[in-house]
A and B are shown apart, each in its own frame.
Chain A
Amino acid sequence: MTGCRKPEKYGHYSTLKEVANVGEAIVITSGKGGVGKTTTAANLGTALALQGKKVCLVDTDIGLRNLDLVLGLDNRIIYDLVDVVEGRCKIHQALVKDKRVDDKLYLLPAAQTTDKNAVTPEQMKELINELKREFEYVLIDCPAGIEQGYRNAIAGADSAIVVTTPEISAVRDADRVIGLLEKEEINPPKLIINRVRKDLINQGDAMNINEITTHLSIDLLGIIVDNEDVIASSNKGEPIVMDPNNKASLGYRNIARRILGESVPLMTLEEEHKGVFKKLMSIFSR
């Protein structure tokens, strides 16, 4: 008995090490459509790549792909996710490199000619596991809804980010999705509140941040202020996070740093009025 224990122990050790070396797969989901999942995925992916991490964005919105457009990579697609899953090409043939962030950011685009039923959760899991071996972060852009597309998207994920806006319908759907995510064997989901408008909150016309976080009672990863430049940059195919002076960009950069484990204080909405001196003070008082 004692004779066979030693190799068993070694075997265990080596698997542990293997696990520690692979990247993290994060699914970005929301339940409701149009709250900014794709924009968030594009910007967080770019922000993580700007921080020097090797990132792969996976668009699982098969049939309604958008992530390639937001990243401005649509005309470079040759193969897609379904081609990979069905063995028509190798993974690296389908990956589209974003040349703006040197060798750090890749996109695995969704297929446009078929639908969500073209892949199964098992196939997705296998695909994501393979990507995790090569990339430090695999961001999975989930389609709206809680059907097949959602199930495919979360199949390979290790953790989840739920995106919502300060609207009651988006928060309600986020609640539903969080409930579903909590049943999965993944890390507890984290929250991003998108399109926060200070004026509406102050008027009492939109839910405030505190209300949303206590209602959903999950960790807040960050807030993104509403900014029209985000739409303009999406249309140009250039993620807003490339612009270092934009307020929304700062929000995404902060979130990326939090994902990397830094503790970055939450951007307060009042910060807009802070003077230079106060800003300096807040830097020193961290």
Chain B
Amino acid sequence: MKNQLVHMKGTKDGLVLRLDDQCAYQDLVEELERKVSEGGIDGRVNVSLDLGYRYLLEQQKQELINIIEHPGKMVVSKVLSNVITVDENNAKMQGNLCDTYVGIVRSGQVIQAPGDIIVIGDVNPNGKIEAGGNIFVMGKLKGIAHAGIGGDREAIVAASWFEPTHVYIADVIEVMSNEKPIVKEHAEQLFAYINKEGNISYDRLQEARKIRPLLNTKGGS
């Protein structure tokens, strides 16, 4: 008898369908169709699809899901896979990357980063920083900062000296005027974030751990 290509296993989170990752894709499809039509399940259940080390195109994944859901008894809630492509991995890494720019961002210059960026130096008026993630300026921020450019509303803009002309976070724009009391009186060590009302707020850098606890990636001892 042939090896089983589709393993069905019950766990406390629901049914897991583990598909063999060494056989031909066509064989897998055939066995899956057979297994699903066998039935033996009452009612609708959530299943997780575990692909193991097999890489599937988006279209193939959809095909398998359609086969499983076709009889109307199982719903695929999750697709697990141990592999991703190099491109996907790189894109993921870029988003998590923290770039460092050493120098002065002068008038007319634009510095872009896919993830976070640390600027060691000043951002002069009309200089611009654009980042997919957070912006940290170790010098004076006197220009324009756009954090979370891809839409990350959790992103922050922090600076040792916080005196920007414009702050953008995701799709929220703030034109800095001198009326902001905290910025006017205390430009040192501030950061900007989107508050619960959806507006840009400022606070002391020390408050970041309360306002954005998820920024922390390192545990202390």
Asked whether A172 lies within 8 Å of B104 as measured between CB atoms, the reply is: no
Choose the segment among A53-61, A118-126, A175-183 that binds chain B (4+ C-beta atoms closer than 8 Å): A175-183
Given that A172-B125, A175-B124 are contacting pairs, would A217 and B104 also be in contact in the complex, using a CB cutoff of 8 Å? yes
Which B95-119 residues have C-beta < 8 A from chain A?
103-104, 106-109
Contact among A172, A178, A180, A217 for B122, CB-based, below 8 A: A217
Across the two chains, which residue of chain B brings its CB closest to A146? B108
Question: Bound complex: CA of A178 vs CA of B121, how far in Å?
Answer: 15
Q: Separation in Å of the B101 CB from the closest CB of chain A?
A: 13
Contacts of B103 in A (CB 8 A): 182
Across the two chains, which residue of chain A brings its CB closest to B122? A217
Chain A contact residues, majority secondary structure: helix
Question: Bound complex: CA of A179 vs CA of B29, how far in Å?
Answer: 60
Asked whether B122 lies within 8 Å of A179 as measured between CB atoms, the reply is: no
User: A92 contacts the other chain (Cβ, under 8 Å)?
Assistant: no
Contacts of A173 in B (CB 8 A): 107
User: B126 contacts the other chain (Cβ, under 8 Å)?
Assistant: yes
User: A215 contacts the other chain (Cβ, under 8 Å)?
Assistant: yes
Asked whether A176 lies within 8 Å of B126 as measured between CB atoms, the reply is: yes
Contacts of B109 in A (CB 8 A): 179
Q: Separation in Å of the B202 CB from the closest CB of chain A?
A: 23
For chain A, the bracket of interface size reads: 10 to 19
Contacts of A172 in B (CB 8 A): 107, 125-126
Across the two chains, which residue of chain A brings its CB closest to B104? A217
Across the two chains, which residue of chain A brings its CB closest to B125? A172
Q: Separation in Å of the B71 CB from the closest CB of chain A?
A: 64
Most buried by A among B103, B104, B126: B104
Contacts of B108 in A (CB 8 A): 176, 179-180
Which A163-222 residues have C-beta < 8 A from chain B?
172-173, 175-176, 178-180, 182, 215, 217
Contacts of B121 in A (CB 8 A): 217
Question: Bound complex: CA of A172 vs CA of B108, how far in Å?
Answer: 10
Contacts of A175 in B (CB 8 A): 106-107, 124-127
Question: Bound complex: CA of A175 vs CA of B108, how far in Å?
Answer: 9
Question: Bound complex: CA of A180 vs CA of B103, how far in Å?
Answer: 13
| A 253-273 binary contact with B (CB < 8 Å = 1; else 0) | 000000000000000000000
Across the two chains, which residue of chain A brings its CB closest to B142? A215
Asked whether A176 lies within 8 Å of B122 as measured between CB atoms, the reply is: no
Q: Separation in Å of the B108 CB from the closest CB of chain A?
A: 5
Which A213-250 residues have C-beta < 8 A from chain B?
215, 217
Contacts of A178 in B (CB 8 A): 106
Contacts of B125 in A (CB 8 A): 172, 175
Q: Separation in Å of the B163 CB from the closest CB of chain A?
A: 12
Contacts of A215 in B (CB 8 A): 122, 124
Q: Separation in Å of the A269 CB from the closest CB of chain B?
A: 25
| A 65-90 binary contact with B (CB < 8 Å = 1; else 0) | 00000000000000000000000000
Most buried by A among B124, B125, B127: B124
Question: Bound complex: CA of A172 vs CA of B124, how far in Å?
Answer: 9
Question: Bound complex: CA of A173 vs CA of B107, how far in Å?
Answer: 8
Question: Bound complex: CA of A193 vs CA of B126, how far in Å?
Answer: 21
Question: Bound complex: CA of A175 vs CA of B109, how far in Å?
Answer: 10
Sample (7) of A-B pairs whose CB atoms are under 8 Å apart: A172-B126, A175-B106, A179-B106, A180-B108, A182-B106, A215-B122, A215-B124
Interface pairs A-B: 7 shortest CB-CB: A179-B106, A176-B107, A175-B107, A176-B108, A175-B106, A179-B109, A175-B124
